[in-house]
Amino acid sequence: RKEVEQDPGPFNVPEGATVAFNCTYSNSASQSFFWYRQDCRKEPKLLMSVYSSGNEDGRFTAQLNRASQYISLLIRDSKLSDSATYLCVVTANAGKSTFGDGTTLTVKP
Amino acid sequence: DGGITQSPKYLFRKEGQNVTLSCEQNLNHDAMYWYRQDPGQGLRLIYYSQIVNDFQKGDIAEGYSVSREKKESFPLTVTSAQTNPTAFYLCASSDRFNEKLFFGSGTQLSVL
């Protein structure tokens, strides 16, 4: 079993749709959680940190459930420009960051 | 502007050849990392360095070597011992170890 698992998708949604991605992790000692966005053949860019209390940034909402060991990303009112691969990243205390394989989103007109 | 610069963008390696990928940052970050990404997969850690003159192996270090002689620079050498080097290589840095990562634009390495 991988340390960080994501549904690879692809998710194909129309503009304006709401879409949610989940990510599960196996290391209960994990401390930090992030969502990165990666466009095709480009470098990943930080989208959001994920906090236990949940956090929101415009159309994006991230949630952390430590008991069930998963994090989620919700995108509301999808735009064409949201089309990308979304990477879940989990970091254990004083350990290395572990990346999921990514979830691919395509938003269609 | 502060950032991370990787070069070259594309690199071709012949059989038995060592090649070096450059990574320079002017963010004054202590920690630097090298990742490898294969198509449809996430990033896998090759080497990381938390401080100048110190570095540690990641999950897939075999066939690679690094140095950290300056805070700003963390070059990666892909040696001839790496038998499947074709991949997208990403360098990253962070202010403190395993905080938010800032990535360079990557180097696509292919074998001739």
10-residue mean pLDDT profile of chain B (112 residues): values are 90 91 96 92 92 93 97 96 92 84 95 84
A96 pLDDT more than 80 = no
Helix, strand or coil for residue A49? strand
Residue A1 has pLDDT above 80, yes or no: no
Put simply, the chain B residues between 60 and 89 with a CB less than 8 A from any chain A CB are 88
- A84 DSSP β-pair partners: A105
Question: Closest-CA residue in chain A for B37?
Answer: A101
Cα–Cα dist B8/B21, whole Å: 7
Closest CA to B99 of B50, B55, B61: B50
Contact A96 B105 (CB under 8 A): no
Establish if B99 touches chain A: CB-CB under 8 angstroms. yes
- Write down the pLDDT at residue B15: 84
Partner residue opposite A96 with nearest CB, options B90, B98, B103: B98
Bridge partners (DSSP) of residue B48 are: B33, B56
Would you call B98 and A100 a contact, using CB atoms and an 8 Å cutoff? no
A89 burial (CB, 10 Å; 0-12 / 13-18 / 19+) is buried
pLDDT tens digits, A38-85: 999 899 999 999 988 889 999 999 999 999 999 999 999 999 999 999
Chain B residues lying within 8 Å of A4, measured CB to CB: 42
* Residue A94 banded pLDDT, cuts 50, 70, 90: low
Q: Which of A49, A94, A101 lies closest to B100 in CB terms?
A: A49
pLDDT at B112: 82
- The pLDDT of residue A101: 92
A102 contacts on B by Cβ (under 8 Å): 41-42
Which one of A43, A95, A101 has the shortest CB-CB distance to B103? Answer: A43
Q: Which residues of A29-48 are buried (b: 16+ CB within 10 A; e: fewer)?
A: ebebbbbbbbeeeebbeebb
CB proximity B10 to A under 8 Å: no
Tell me the shortest Cα–Cα distance from A104 to chain B, in angstroms: 9
DSSP label at A81? G
Pairing relationship of beta strands A84-92 and A103-108 according to DSSP bridges = antiparallel
Minimal C-alpha gap between B22 and chain A (Å): 15
Cβ of residue A105 closer than 8 Å to a chain B Cβ: no
What number is the average pLDDT over the span A21-29? 92
